[in-house]
Copies of this chain bind each other. A is one copy, B any other.
Amino acid sequence: MAKLLLEVPRGARDFQPSEKIVRDKVIGKIKEIFEIYGFSPMETPTFEKLEILEAKFGAGENSDAISEIYRFKDQGNRGLGLRYEFTFPLARFVGQNPQLKLPFKRYQIGTVFRDGPIKAGRYREFYQCDIDTVGAPSILADAENLAVVRDVFSKLGLEVVIEVNDRKLLTEIIDYCGIDKSIAIAVIISIDKLKKIGTDGVRNELLDKGIPAGKTEKLLSVLNEVKNGSNEEKLRALKGMLGETEGLKEMDEFFEYLGWFNVDVEFNPALARGLGYYTGPIYEAFLKDQKIMSGSIAGGGRWDKMIGKYIGNEKQSIPATGVSFGIEPIMEIILKRDGAVRQTVTDLLVIPIKAKKEAIKVVQDLRERGLKVQVDLLDRSVAKNIEYADKLGIPYVGFLGEDEIKQGKIKIRNIKSGKEELIDISKVNINL
């Protein structure tokens, strides 16, 4: 038989223990914060019925994701696709379970799939991590979302800036510039690229989309005018132009609630989010140190209309709001900061010196006390065992000969320092 080319598929990755250990720790910390805010875990299938994934009203103008679905059929010839995010499965789930008690607060963490171009930091299977509150129309839930964002990044030791805006307000600004509301989403998707492609890039896109030059300039100048100053100053400037609008009132309310939760944010009237389904407040978090990573590492907003559309009854709107945390950029930042030095969870490698049977008993005692212990399974020399521990990042080895065991002791060697110490077996306590 021909030799197999052993490799993962294009765009996929193995998470070796060295990386998976860090990944599990990061996700564990995030889950801890989610749960103190009363979000519960939930899991939808890895694949969905294709017609549900392809429902256009979900992705709005973001139809890239739809063209990038991995499509296949089951043996009954039913069309299926790998999930490409968690919002549509949530909308499907809520629509399917009308008995659900609201508000429904859930989180989902897992991988999603996009058969798209591969660039640096982009994969075809990657983690997403979402919280959503379904059934709470109050903007208080959006403020709570941002308290979660603040607490997650504080727990991870990352300094972030949270930017906020509002889709209603954006639409009002677009309207104020004389641009037809019917193309507001297309305009918003261009505005979303301001940071990436700059004013000139956005200008070109808007002109390409058929927005007249005068209206395009007006829009860009409004956004430019309210770029600087405090949140209050920006809001005041906008009130001067637009008057007392619904979007501005919503922003006032949002800021009030954010104060209750003591969350600091920066109002960015050009923040847009590249998805069609948002209906109210929107937000993104960025690393304070933009040199390390410039893109957003969390983002979300209110999406009040989608579930109703899924149910096929737009009048029966079910409000929803959520945040998605960018596990992949977060992992990139944390691996850069902390490294992935340990290739094993093992804290102690026990090396029996001609007393294997008795050593196993001691090893089992240590394990019963919660220590993470490996025992030499290969009858290797002390030097080989120490090399193994060193290469894997096991911080301690323990020698167990007949003498030690008789005394109820173990000789522990710190791999880094080389220091050895004879310790009571009952007192071995390795805290890492």
B-facing residues in A300-317 (Cβ within 8 Å)? 310-312
- Chain B residue numbers with a CB within 8 Å of A371 are 36
Size of the chain A interface, CB-CB below 8 angstroms: 103
Complex Cα distance, B5 from A55, in Å, reads 12
Complex Cα distance, B136 from A373, in Å, reads 16
Flag whether A7 is at the interface (Cβ < 8 A).
Answer: yes
- Chain B residue numbers with a CB within 8 Å of A372 are 35-38
Complex Cα distance, B74 from A324, in Å, reads 26
Cβ of B367 and Cβ of A37 under 8 Å apart?
yes
Stretch at the interface among A98-106, A270-278, A417-425: A98-106
Cβ of B42 and Cβ of A20 under 8 Å apart?
yes
* A377-B133 CB under 8 A given contacts A20-B43, A46-B111, A71-B72: yes
* A36-B370 CB under 8 A given contacts A74-B124, A106-B17: yes
Residue of B nearest to A391 (CB): B101
- Chain B residue numbers with a CB within 8 Å of A106 are 17
Cβ of A40 and Cβ of B312 under 8 Å apart?
no
Inter-chain pairs besides A21-B40, A68-B75, A72-B72, 16 sampled, C-beta below 8 Å: A4-B51, A4-B52, A6-B96, A7-B49, A9-B74, A14-B44, A17-B106, A37-B372, A37-B374, A40-B343, A41-B345, A105-B346, A144-B377, A260-B357, A260-B361, A261-B364
Give A residues with C-beta under 8 Å from B: 1, 3-17, 20-21, 23-24, 35-49, 51-52, 55, 57, 68, 70-72, 74-76, 78, 80, 82, 92-93, 95-97, 101-103, 105-106, 111, 113, 115, 124-125, 133, 135-138, 140-141, 144, 147, 151, 260-262, 310-312, 343-346, 349, 356-357, 360-361, 364, 367, 370-375, 377-379, 388, 391-392
